[in-house]
Structure 1
Amino acid sequence: MTILHVSAVKNWGGGENHIETLCNELKHSNPEIKNIVLCVKNKPFHNRLKLTNIAFETAPLAYNLDFRFSLKIIALCKKHKVNLIHIHDPSGIALTIIADKLSNLPPFIFSKKTSFPIKNKKLTLYKYNYPKIKKYFCVSDETKRICESSIHEKYKLITIYHGTSLLNKGTETPFLIREKFKIDPTTKIIGNIGNHIRAKNLETFVETVNEIVNIKKRDDFFFIQFGTFTDRTEQLTNKIKELKLENHIAFVGYTPNASNFIPQFDAFLMTSQSEGIPEVIFESFYHKTPVITTNVGGIPEIIEDEINGLLTPKHDPKLLSDKIIYLFENKELINQFVQISFNKLMTNYSSLSMAKKMAEEYKFVVSNQ
């Protein structure tokens, strides 16, 4: 069986990490499944794949519906006798549909990795309900619930939690946070990993730091954030300067293997306003780092408040700051949180479990064509 994974994303994020993890795991657990990734030429995912043993091809994508990308899908399906196309992002659906209109393609599977509702627009609904999409892999039950209002054939929706690979975990980093930023040993390092996009709501991250430092007058915390800078970054850095937080927060930018820094965090803080289930939480589970996060998307399905982490509603920097202080004033909770989370990860959220479920669905779809 040959699977073509289509990614039309132009940056590197959790979705692309998921594709890499899935292909690597399938290579070990299901060697009878051949995986080929099609990604955007000369973009971060392309550069990342060069460093792996994953089979991949590239195509230019100068604008959203660049026909050259669709023509490459057709060529790859013919060249490799592809049995199934796994589409990993909304732009990829449109480009694959165009290819299907030009040349009859094998069936599709689509991974819904976010909790964003599907827009109630005619063309959008047509795209998401295209008959060749035989399954929708939803990253959480919450994502599945949100999709149900827009997908006509609801039986096609299934939840498969993304898993984290146990094959490639590391702790090697280009620098040590405490050394680089001259952080006192008694100061707690609170970390975040995420690109500077609207969903990650890093405005609340900055406001939380302001609550800790300027409102609560605590100088025993240092906040560090890893992720690709965007057009939102300048506004964030200006806000940091305005609030005089330069000595309390650092934006590092894109860093390869950023999750390797997690063991250097005393806690992981996520302030997102929208998520599926971010893999970086599973990475924190693995590295036994306690998690404080907003309760958006599927996150409450993997973290129970005060059982294996701390949850707050979105857009509430005051409560987030309260939770941070609460955690370190009740240090006995840390061991409880990380041990329960680690056990949950090993039992339910490994990439092996994810790959096994996806392989079963691949085989079901192909065998029923």
Structure 2
Amino acid sequence: MRTVQIIDSLEIGGAEKMAINYANALSVTNEFSGLVATRAEGKLKNQLSDSVSYLFLKKKATIDFGAVFRLRKYCKENKVEFLQPHSSSYFTALLVKFVYPKVKIIWHDHNGLSEFISSEKSFALKIASFFFKGIIVVNYKLKAWAEKELNCQNVIYLPNFTTIDNAASTETVLKGESGKKILCLANLRDQKNHFLLLEVAEKLKQSHPDWSFHLVGKDFEDDYSANVRAAIVNKNLEENVFIYGSKNDIKNIINQSDIAILTSKSEGLPIALIEYGLSKKPVVSTKVGEIPLIIKDGINGFIVDVNEADLFYQKLVRFIDENDLRIQMGNSLHQTILENNSEEGVIAKYLNWVLSL
């Protein structure tokens, strides 16, 4: 099997990380595994295995015929059978298929808001889906949506998996008091709902002022980011909430934290949750996407409904006050991740499914 992952950029993010993970894993099992970054490179590039073929397309516009034909040439030279575009990069794959019909497209949908996309984008996706050989989704809600709304019969749910790069540098030093750090790995965008985090931080400042929150993820420097930063100032949280932007040394950052959280209002299956579990961190999260399939409340972590700031705060305080509980639930989540989100298990299901297409 000869497969190429396509992703818009290699900046740090969930879909980007999964494109890397699939490319690396398939380089072990497949005859050929490649990865194409269409618009931009980024910090994740150095996580690509040496055995993965890599192409930076330098795409300049939505329709860039030069980029399309460069990718067509790459596919022909490497006898590529399957293109696996992640999220919005499906359009690039579609244009390549128009000029190289023998290649098959497997769309990988990571976007927990796909069911809420605009009618214009939804129409374009519905047309494109006629040309998809298969669709991979990261939660069951997206599976139901794809089966109902799109024009492709071969839809499969495959959970995200990941590995943590232990060899990455240890460049980041989290601020705040040691042993009292709460981590949120999430890009600064509306879906991640940092305003819930700030509500909780405001409450925690009153009861546990020595604890701090650490926001690690891409800062798009847009209105959402500006509003988050303004809210930190308005709530007088400058010494309690710190923003770091994209970082490559995730293992090092997780190791410095004591509790991990997610405050999203919509998700697929966040890579951050898997990374938390692999590092045995106690987690408090909102109850969205596939998170309830991983976290069983009170057993291997805590989950609360979206925007339940009071309950989120109460669960967080339990972890703060009970160190033994943190250890117990961190270990339990670690076991859950090993059993359900291992690379070997997911890739085996993936390969069997692709062979059946």
Q: Taking structure 1 as the reference length, what is the TM-score of the superposition? A: 0.87
Structure 2: how far apart are the matches of 1:42 and 1:88?
14
What does 1:1-369 align with in structure 2 at a 5 Å threshold?
A: 1-9=1-9, 11-28=11-28, 30=29, 32-44=30-42, 47-48=45-46, 53-90=51-88, 92-118=89-115, 119=117, 121=119, 124-125=122-123, 127-128=125-126, 130-154=129-153, 156-165=154-163, 168-169=165-166, 173-177=170-174, 181=175, 183=177, 185=178, 188-213=180-205, 216-230=206-220, 231=222, 232-365=224-357
- % identical equivalent positions: 19
Secondary structure of 2:133's partner? strand
Give the direction of change, closer, same or farther, for the CA distance of 1:146–1:267 in structure 2 (3 Å limit): farther
Once the two structures are TM-superposed, the CA of residue 62 in structure 1 deviates from its matched residue by: 2.4
Structure 2: how far apart are the matches of 1:276 and 1:5?
19
Structure 1: how far apart are the matches of 2:124 and 2:146?
14
Higher mean alpha-carbon deviation, 92-101 vs 282-291, is at: 92-101
Higher mean alpha-carbon deviation, 299-308 vs 256-265, is at: 256-265
Structure 2: how far apart are the matches of 1:49 and 1:335?
30
Once the two structures are TM-superposed, the CA of residue 10 in structure 1 deviates from its matched residue by: 6.7
Structure 2: how far apart are the matches of 1:47 and 1:170?
14
Letter in structure 2 aligned against 1:14: G
Give the direction of change, closer, same or farther, for the CA distance of 1:362–1:295 in structure 2 (3 Å limit): same
Gaps of 5+ in 1: none
Once the two structures are TM-superposed, the CA of residue 318 in structure 1 deviates from its matched residue by: 2.5
Structure 2: how far apart are the matches of 1:131 and 1:110?
11
Higher mean alpha-carbon deviation, 330-339 vs 285-294, is at: 330-339
Once the two structures are TM-superposed, the CA of residue 291 in structure 1 deviates from its matched residue by: 0.8
Q: CA RMSD in A?
A: 2.4
Structure 2: how far apart are the matches of 1:51 and 1:152?
34
Cα shift readout 1:245-295 (whole Å, capped 9, x = no counterpart): 111111111111324311221110111111111111111111110111111
Structure 1: how far apart are the matches of 2:281 and 2:308?
22
Structure 2: how far apart are the matches of 1:207 and 1:89?
31
Alpha carbons 2:12, 2:246 under 8 Å: kept = no
Structure 2: how far apart are the matches of 1:269 and 1:46?
23
Gaps of 5+ in 2: none
Higher mean alpha-carbon deviation, 129-138 vs 204-213, is at: 129-138
Secondary structure of 2:130's partner? coil
Give the direction of change, closer, same or farther, for the CA distance of 1:182–1:5 in structure 2 (3 Å limit): closer
Higher mean alpha-carbon deviation, 242-251 vs 328-337, is at: 328-337
Q: Taking structure 2 as the reference length, what is the TM-score of the superposition? A: 0.90
Once the two structures are TM-superposed, the CA of residue 45 in structure 1 deviates from its matched residue by: 6.0
Aligned length: 353
Give the direction of change, closer, same or farther, for the CA distance of 1:193–1:16 in structure 2 (3 Å limit): same
Once the two structures are TM-superposed, the CA of residue 209 in structure 1 deviates from its matched residue by: 0.8
Structure 2: how far apart are the matches of 1:351 and 1:274?
24
Secondary structure of 1:355's partner? helix
Secondary structure of 2:149's partner? coil
